[in-house]
């Protein structure tokens, strides 16, 4: 029986958790249960799941296809008692749920998505979910990505007895193999001929053992990915091996945006690899595009200059952008720079260090497929629709596909764009750069440089708005009479904002975030309502645990900068779970405290 389950680390819906059993055993999820340990009576208690009081909830389904351990709470598919169970869930002190009849979901990708996500939504965030008898080495990472915590080797063992040999990317009949393409303890100890000569029972059990080992390896790999924060990339790679799994991922990206948005961190210290068609549909991409429209306010400038992206991030540290910046710097005060890029759409220069603008990598071939073009073009159209009136002129220093995308977007509004690259010319060529410099000089007339302070201030204000909502940036600056007390120190991008010697905020480029101090947080009016965690009557030390949270803003996501307020304390920290999870969870770190003031 489980004593408790605690989520320790999250990567989207996937988690690493600690499952403590009554006997004192501690297990880590993602976890693979072994069939043999489920069958042996003595270990039944180890795996057996819930308090005995709740055992009346077991066997809710009339025809169980899976012989669940004693005391497990099943989530049956459609059953009259299911509603009763759903009602009872909040009051059950349950840590572990089993999704029964899971095998039936393998018939349709839509069912697969629906059943797992419904189950996850139905149970508390700090309960473990076990989906029995469907895991293979091919689908395990996807199951964890969806929010499943526990799998088992039933399927792997059964396949072994059917002479089906599991591979990390699928399966093959043993008879089709000429060699054993594996290094596990089974496959490295005997050749395929030797395996073929074994009697039926021994051969099956050896293949089953190999299958289980391959599955177990997959669990370890997925766990490492969750730890690193890049399970999504691994899942994109894995689903390519099977059309069923690719369909599952595509359906989730289209239909389950809310489920994943709520669980996806706002920032990571990881580069996002955009290597597949599915990468364009990531929450991080959609969220960035949405926030640029909703939270970003461009500075008042005469010219909008649209530039191509660069491989090196932040863009301004790249050789190409160094040249662009040099070409326009005498007129910087007239120009607002916007970077056109796939898959993020448009990145205002001021936001180039935020996540994921400084944290993505995409193969550059010069070829853009139709979907990519349409998405980037829609981002530019939306930006122009909202901000066109901000500018007198639009200059685009773009060539190739960038230029085509830009002109197709501009056509919609009937605006004229001044292009500074000629057909077939590289944007970084001497000719193109000279043309850019000359055209800008002509269009601006009088020179007007931006001071270092103005550039830094623009970046910090835009980051504050992007993170906490419109107005946060100007709140940081305070009233007009405070302006001259504001100082920004540090080298790009490690800026530190202070007023009268008090530090208000720091740029944290490792995560692409702005970290506030308590003094900074007190200036931002937004924080009185949003990104706020209400805590109980205590002064937190180190971390705020979920039971200490009274209420939390629903828009809080993992890694958000949050303010916490209680009768005895006010402080700043970083969210370790989403706002809803803070309220619903009974365990786990909710906020990592950075600074606290007693009140």
Question: Where does this chain bind Zn ion (CB under 5 A)?
Answer: 182, 184, 187, 210
* Distance between CA atoms of residues 589 and 362, nearest Å: 34
Nearer to Zn ion (CB atom), residue 62 or residue 183? 183
For the chain, the straight-line distance linking the first and the last C-alpha, in angstroms and rounded, comes to 43
Nearer to Zn ion (CB atom), residue 217 or residue 273? 217
Nearer to Zn ion (CB atom), residue 217 or residue 250? 217
Query: Token pair for residue 109?
Result: 């990708």
Q: Are 2 and 50 in contact (CB under 8 A)?
A: yes
Nearer to Zn ion (CB atom), residue 184 or residue 237? 184
Nearest distance in Å: CB 226, Zn ion: 24
* Distance between CA atoms of residues 327 and 439, nearest Å: 10
CA 4 to chain CA centroid, nearest Å: 26
User: What does each C-alpha distance from 44 to 1, 54, 105, 598 come to in angstroms?
Assistant: 9, 16, 26, 49
Nearest distance in Å: CB 184, Zn ion: 3
Query: Token pair for residue 294?
Result: 């909703």
Nearest distance in Å: CB 181, Zn ion: 8
Nearer to Zn ion (CB atom), residue 167 or residue 325? 167
Nearest distance in Å: CB 179, Zn ion: 11
Tell me whether residue 581 is exposed, middle or buried, using C-beta atoms within 10 angstroms of its C-beta: 0 to 12, 13 to 18, 19 or more: buried
Nearer to Zn ion (CB atom), residue 140 or residue 398? 140
Q: What does residue 344 show for φ and ψ, rounded to 5 degrees?
A: -80, -15
Nearest distance in Å: CB 189, Zn ion: 9
Query: Token pair for residue 36?
Result: 């043999």
3-state secondary structure of 26: strand
Nearest distance in Å: CB 204, Zn ion: 14
Query: Other C-beta atoms within 10 Å of 52: how many?
Result: 10
Nearest distance in Å: CB 216, Zn ion: 11
Nearer to Zn ion (CB atom), residue 187 or residue 401? 187
Nearest distance in Å: CB 213, Zn ion: 6
Residue among 120, 124, 99, 102 nearest 111 (CA): 102
Parallel, antiparallel or unpaired: strands 345-348 and 170-173: unpaired
Q: Are 597 and 520 in contact (CB under 8 A)?
A: no
Angle separating helix axes 231-239 and 200-228, nearest 10 degrees: 140
| Cβ-proximal residues to 438 (8 Å cutoff; 6+ apart), any chain | none
Query: Token pair for residue 153?
Result: 């080797």
Nearer to Zn ion (CB atom), residue 168 or residue 350? 168
Query: Other C-beta atoms within 10 Å of 37: how many?
Result: 14
Q: What angle do CA 265, 268, 270 make, to 5 degrees?
A: 140
Nearest distance in Å: CB 94, Zn ion: 37
Query: Token pair for residue 50?
Result: 């819930």
Q: What does residue 492 show for φ and ψ, rounded to 5 degrees?
A: -55, 135
Residue among 11, 46, 6, 50 nearest 28 (CA): 6
Nearest distance in Å: CB 221, Zn ion: 15
Q: Are 71 and 51 in contact (CB under 8 A)?
A: yes
Nearer to Zn ion (CB atom), residue 214 or residue 285? 214
Nearer to Zn ion (CB atom), residue 177 or residue 443? 177
Nearest distance in Å: CB 206, Zn ion: 9
Nearer to Zn ion (CB atom), residue 171 or residue 454? 171
Nearer to Zn ion (CB atom), residue 140 or residue 280? 140
Query: Token pair for residue 275?
Result: 């290597």
Query: Token pair for residue 382?
Result: 């939306």
DSSP letter for 236, please. Answer: H
Nearest distance in Å: CB 136, Zn ion: 14
Q: What are the E-state strand segments in 102-255?
A: 128-130, 150-152, 164-167, 170-173
Nearest distance in Å: CB 137, Zn ion: 11
């Amino acid at each position: 029986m489980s004593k408790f389950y605690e989520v320790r680390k999250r990567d989207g819906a996937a988690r690493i958790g600690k499952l403590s059993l009554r006997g004192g055993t501690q297990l880590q999820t993602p976890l693979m249960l072994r069939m043999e340990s489920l069958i042996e009576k003595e270990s039944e208690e180890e795996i057996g799941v819930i308090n005995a009081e709740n055992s009346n909830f077991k066997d809710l389904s009339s025809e169980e296809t899976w012989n669940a351990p004693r005391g497990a709470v099943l989530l049956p598919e459609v059953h009259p008692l299911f509603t009763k169970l759903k009602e009872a869930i909040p009051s059950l002190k349950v840590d572990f749920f089993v999704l029964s009849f899971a095998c039936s979901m393998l018939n349709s990708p839509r069912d697969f998505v629906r059943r797992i996500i419904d189950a996850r939504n139905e149970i508390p965030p700090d309960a473990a979910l076990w989906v029995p008898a469907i895991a293979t080495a091919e689908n395990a990472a996807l199951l964890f990505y969806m929010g499943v915590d526990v799998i088992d080797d039933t399927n792997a063992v059964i396949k072994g007895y059917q002479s089906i040999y599991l591979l990390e990317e699928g399966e093959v009949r043993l008879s089709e193999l000429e060699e054993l393409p594996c290094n596990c303890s089974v496959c490295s100890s005997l050749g395929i001929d030797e395996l073929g000569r074994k009697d039926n029972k021994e051969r099956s059990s050896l293949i089953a053992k190999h299958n289980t080992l391959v599955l177990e390896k997959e669990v370890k790999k997925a766990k490492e990915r969750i730890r690193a924060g890049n399970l999504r990339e691994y899942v994109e790679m894995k689903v390519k091996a099977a059309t069923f799994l690719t369909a599952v991922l595509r359906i989730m990206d289209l239909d389950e945006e809310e489920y994943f948005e709520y669980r996806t961190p706002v920032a990571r210290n990881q580069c996002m690899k955009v290597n597949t068609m599915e990468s364009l549909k990531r929450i991080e991409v959609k969220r960035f595009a949405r926030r640029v429209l909703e939270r970003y306010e461009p500075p008042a400038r005469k010219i909008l200059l649209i530039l191509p992206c660069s491989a090196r991030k932040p863009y301004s540290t790249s050789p190409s952008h160094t040249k662009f910046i040099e070409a326009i710097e005498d007129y910087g005060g007239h120009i607002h720079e916007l970077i056109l890029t796939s898959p993020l759409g448009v990145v205002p220069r001021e936001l180039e260090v935020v996540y994921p603008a400084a944290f993505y990598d995409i193969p550059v071939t010069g070829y853009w497929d139709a979907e990519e073009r349409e998405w980037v073009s829609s981002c530019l159209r939306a930006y122009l629709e909202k901000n066109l009136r901000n500018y007198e002129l639009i200059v685009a220093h773009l060539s190739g596909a960038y230029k085509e995308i830009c002109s197709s977007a501009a056509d919609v509004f009937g605006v004229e764009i001044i292009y500074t690259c000629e057909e077939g010319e590289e944007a970084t060529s001497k000719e193109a750069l000279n043309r850019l410099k000359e055209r800008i000089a002509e269009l601006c007339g009088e020179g007007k440089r931006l001071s270092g302070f103005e550039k830094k201030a623009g970046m910090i204000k835009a980051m504050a708005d992007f993170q906490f909502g419109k107005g946060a940036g100007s709140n940081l600056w305070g009233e007009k009479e405070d302006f001259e007390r504001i100082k920004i120190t540090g080298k790009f991008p490690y800026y530190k904002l202070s007023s009268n010697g008090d530090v208000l905020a720091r740029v944290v480029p490792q995560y692409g975030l702005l970290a506030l101090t308590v003094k900074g947080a007190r200036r931002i009016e937004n924080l009185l309502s949003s990104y706020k965690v209400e805590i109980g009557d205590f002064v937190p030390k180190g971390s705020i645990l979920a039971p200490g949270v009274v209420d939390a803003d629903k828009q809080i996501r993992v890694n958000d900068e949050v303010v916490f307020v209680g009768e005895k304390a006010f402080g700043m920290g970083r969210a370790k779970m989403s706002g809803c999870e803070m309220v619903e969870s009974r365990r786990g770190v909710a906020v990592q405290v950075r600074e606290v003031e007693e009140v």
